[in-house]
Amino acid sequence: MADLPRPARLYIATVLAAAALLGLGGVLVAPPRLGLAPVAVVLLMCATIAQQFKVKSPKHQSYYTTTIFFFAAAVLLRPAYVILIILAAHAVELLRVRYRWYIQAFNMANFVICAIAAGAIFGMGQSGHGAGGGRAALYAALAGLTFVALNHLLTALVIMWARGVPISRAGTMDWENLGTDLALMSVGALGSLLWLTNPWLVPLCLGPLFLIYRSLLVPTLKEEARTDPKTELANMKHWNQVAQVEIERARRFGRPLSVVLADFDLLREVNNRHGHMMGDQMIRRVADAIRAALREYDVPARFGGDEFAILMPETTLGEALTVAERIRREVESIVLKGADGASPAASVSIGVALFPAHGGTASDLLAAADRAVYQAKARGRNRVCAFAEREGDAMPAIRVAAPARLEAS
């Protein structure tokens, strides 16, 4: 935990201590009952299995359906069983995936706090009343809201202090994330109420659970369908779809838009001399350099084997040339060392085209940028050129001295 900022270390220690105190207090106030052991075993098995099926979203956030069973345990069981289920499910996951100890410890403490709070709220609603009816449903809903809100708040705070990211940008408080966990909680609440009234109806909750799990996969599948697997940039199908929308918007409102085409120089020589593995690494590093030089709303894509297309809305020709030169310098500074110690040179020839001066459609702009690439290659490669109707009208190629080369393995 020494690699974390001091506020994050203090916060994690506080959460761990709070979970330990709440857990101990819960066990002392409501000792475990042997009659609940069969229910605990079933929920433990379900939670342990569900914990192994993580769904990672395109925004690098993870979802587990395990929270359904953690919440159901909080509603149906005593705190000792709940804590055991949470610890066991995460312990089994640790056998398969190695996390830093404090990450998994914080996750477990987070769920312990949320589960005990949710169980206390539901218990207050059930005190002196029957298991079913509108009152039970109301308190189950309140318990679920508390579980989700507290879980997301605790997570947002650790992201804020560990990564220096404001809560508004942490992502955990976004409606998309909250809505997903609220849907999971609703299934958990429904299953718990059915167990209290008619346990034979509980298996009916498996259908909604399966559909929720499948729906969690949809954003990832969509992202994979529009992403080049080698570089993780957009593929050209997605690029063309976005380009049509942006060009139409630029035409309607009279806004600038530029298209940049970058061609890696002499990739065939790199493959022939150093192997295709080195060539693939070089392509990925070029993609990283392009991604780092762009704004959030620019759209880079892998155009072909060694070519990259970049859509730049709200960008004049001069601005696009500046960004293109930045990419050229970053690529020129790449160093990849092979097993024999050799380090092939890296460079790109870049062409830039402006809407509507150089083309009124995505294909026209790509063709214009492609011609500018050939102008750059004809001038000696490793440079940036803007499109010109005739070679004699070409804008002077941009060339700036490169910084010291970066070492990479």
Looking up residue 335, the CATH number of its domain turns out to be 3.30.70.270
What average pLDDT does the segment 379-386 reach? 92
- Asked whether the predicted pLDDT for residue 237 surpasses 60, the reply is yes
> How confident is the prediction for the chain on average, in pLDDT?
83
Query: Both 240 and 221 in a single domain?
Result: no
Residues 258 and 139 in one domain: no
Residue 399 lies in a domain: no
Judge whether residue 87 has pLDDT over 70: yes
Q: How many residues does the chain have?
A: 409
Domain count, the chain: 2
What's the pLDDT at 401? 37
221 and 345 housed in the same domain: no
Distance between CA atoms of residues 343 and 407, nearest Å: 10
pLDDT given at position 59? 53
Q: Which of 29-33, 51-55, 175-179, 335-339 has the highest mean pLDDT?
A: 29-33
Q: How confident is the model at residue 288 (pLDDT cuts 50, 70, 90)?
A: very high
Structural domain contains residue 408: no
pLDDT band at 62; cut points 50, 70, 90: low
pLDDT bin (cut points 50, 70, 90) of residue 402 is: very low
Is 273 found in the same domain as 157?
no
User: Are 56 and 201 in a shared domain?
Assistant: yes
Which CATH number belongs to the domain containing residue 88 in this structure? 1.10.1760.20
**292 lies in a domain?**
yes
> Is residue 314 one of the residues assigned to a domain?
yes
Q: pLDDT over 90 for what percent of the chain?
A: 39
What's the rounded mean pLDDT across residues 335-343? 74
Residues 171 and 275 in one domain: no
Task: Domain of residue 150: give its range.
Answer: 6-225
Strands 384-386 and 348-355: parallel
Question: What pLDDT does residue 170 have?
Answer: 62
Indicate whether 26 and 161 sit together in one domain. yes
Residue 185's pLDDT is what? 85
Both 207 and 317 in one domain: the answer is: no
- Shared domain check, 302 and 154: no
**Burial zone of 182 (CB within 10 Å; 0-12 exposed, 13-18 middle, 19+ buried):** middle
Tell me the H-state helices in 164-255: 167-170, 175-197, 206-225, 236-253
pLDDT at 10 over 80: yes
Those residues whose C-beta lies under 8 Å from the C-beta of residue 357, and which sit 6 or more positions away, are 317
Residue 400 lies inside a defined structural domain of this protein: no
Interhelix angle 66-76/133-163, nearest 10 degrees: 130
| Dihedral angle of Cα 311, 313, 319, 320, to the nearest 10 degrees | 10
Q: Are residues 173 and 113 in the same domain?
A: yes
DSSP string, 32-89: --GGGHHHHHHHHHHHHHHTT--EE-TTS-EE-THHHHHHHHHHHS-HHHHHHHHHHH
Whether residue 50 sits in one domain with residue 14: yes
Q: Are residues 202 and 288 in the same domain?
A: no
Over range 174-197, report the average pLDDT: 82
- Answer whether residue 98 shows pLDDT above 80: no
Q: Mention every residue, 6+ apart, whose C-beta is less than 8 A from residue 213.
A: 53, 55, 65
